[in-house]
Structure 1
């Protein structure tokens, strides 16, 4: 299964994605203020791979002037319904449909991995103003929470992908992997939690790309077993999810 197939698999579950995916903590946007040396209010932002608008909505709440970039038909349609006042253009990070030196901040929430950094880094620098910043972040697995670690390994086995290492790459390796070598980069790990109904937790799991490309019968069986396990751990069917946002913010040296 190609990365492109997985990237576009979200179009088959746009409504589910918007309803179940976790948001991001205020500390993330506080750090963007700090890195840029000014509040996000009035900052011209391009949110790339915007999906259904989870990050775009939060940026707009902070007063940013947001334009979204999204390649998927269904995701873009859902974005329009959720954020009708925010412009969205079709495209991806490898060839941004934006003018040069037109944005103060470019954000990639959960979407940088779908780009070719040999193309997306130069594209970001082309679109950014001279003092602009590029921000990449992901909600990552809190491996120190035993039930979350165990669930991660079961999901990886079900989807036929290697489980992620519980040891996070150090800053230099993370910068290299993101293709940001040579830029001025700051990294933060931001821990946060949300409490959700069991059904929403399972919907979030099944909205991931590795699930979406699998057969529905196999997924139903896996999710039924996961429901049984989680009812034992959370008898009231309320699940406390823990995330660690891995945030990289880059600018020209």
Structure 2
């Protein structure tokens, strides 16, 4: 709820916001996933309720897929994974951009993976570009996209702290994202661009064509991820939240203190 209905592109968004505002101001407490959202609640809705920041925690099961060898033709393989929502995910803009056929886009292969209302738009794009340059596949595990691609792309208009980016980082894959995607504290500056800036997107992707550059971007993001969303950080924020909800002091079970999240407070 840190974004207004108007900003998210809902029909009659302004009126929806006016109806929601009194209800949101009456909420007694909030749980958000990054500090910027706490600020946005006060700025957007005038909320004065306490806000607890509980970071997203990437759950990664099993070994990561092997890093793919560079493409034989030198093209950068770019994956867009998740719900295919045109407005939020910025896929309408990306599809229009790629349909125009800029030279730099031809130096990439585009892999769209997921389901959602934007699928017909992407299907039309794939037909236009041809199977050698773009493909669209249904929802599948993230590892399937990572194993066949070099970079994960989030060209979003707005996000919270997208879990797919955290999971890709934990798996060892570089991420390129708009600055509106909520990943500014995670990604290197050169891996980010302003939403709608085609030249900025091209520059961000171009900076990751070299495998060594991709490795450096991953190392940066993993270090930041551990500080932002690692198990120690998660536990440090979970306990105060649980105590606030319970209205009494709590202590972590010994096995949680040593092994990380998974059991809970008592």
Bin of the TM-score, shorter chain as denominator length: 0.3 to 0.5
What TM-score comes out, normalization by structure 2 length? Answer: 0.34
Higher fraction of strand? 1
Of structures 1 and 2, the one with the larger relative CO (CA 8 A, separation 6+) is 1
What TM-score comes out, normalization by structure 1 length? Answer: 0.35
- Which entry has the higher C-alpha Rg, 1 or 2? 2
